[in-house]
Amino acid sequence: MDQYPDNLAELTEKLDLRKLILVGHSTGGGEVARYIGRHGSKCVAKVVLVGAVPPLMLKTETNPEGTLMALFDDIRKGTASDRSQFFKDLTISFYGFNRPGVKVNDGFASRSG
């Protein structure tokens, strides 16, 4: 993920962009923060972070509130072995369908005609 802010910096430089308004949601928010940390804010007018994931999520000595490596290992394993099932299962908790009393629907099939 270090490459994302470097790519943005290269694009910004190549196109000579100025007064950027950077908006980042979720992981994108972490990348906006990382961009500014690595490349500064000379081309940036404003920043919006929405539900941003910080650049460092891993639990370490210097980040004791971080996420255990086992979770990241499970994500890698799940996406490598059965990506569709992994994302289906992740969606259940991500949207709160694992809470007591929540009715789960199967969604709507697309309709033609």
Q: Which residue shows structure tokens 């923060």?
A: 33
- Is the whole model's pTM more than 0.95, yes or no? no
Is 25 in the same domain as 50? yes
Instruction: Note the pLDDT tens digit of each residue in 17-73.
Output: 999 999 999 888 888 999 999 999 999 999 999 988 776 788 999 989 889 999 989
Q: Per-residue confidence at 110, pLDDT binned at 50, 70, 90?
A: low
d(CA 74, CA 80): 10
Is 14 in the same domain as 34? yes
Tell whether 113 is covered by a domain. Answer: no
Is 3 in the same domain as 47? yes
Paired tokens of 66: 């971080």
Q: Which helix (H) or strand (E) holds 107?
A: none
Q: Which helix (H) or strand (E) holds 77?
A: helix 69-81
Tell whether 108 is covered by a domain. Answer: no
Domain of 19? 1-55
Is 5 in the same domain as 51? yes
Going from the C-alpha of 45 to that of each of 25, 31, 38, 54, 108, the distances in angstroms are: 18, 16, 16, 21, 42
Tell whether 110 is covered by a domain. Answer: no
Paired tokens of 91: 């969606």
Is 30 in the same domain as 63? no
Q: Is the pLDDT of residue 113 over 70?
A: no
pLDDT attached to residue 100: 92
The tally of domains found in the chain comes to: 2
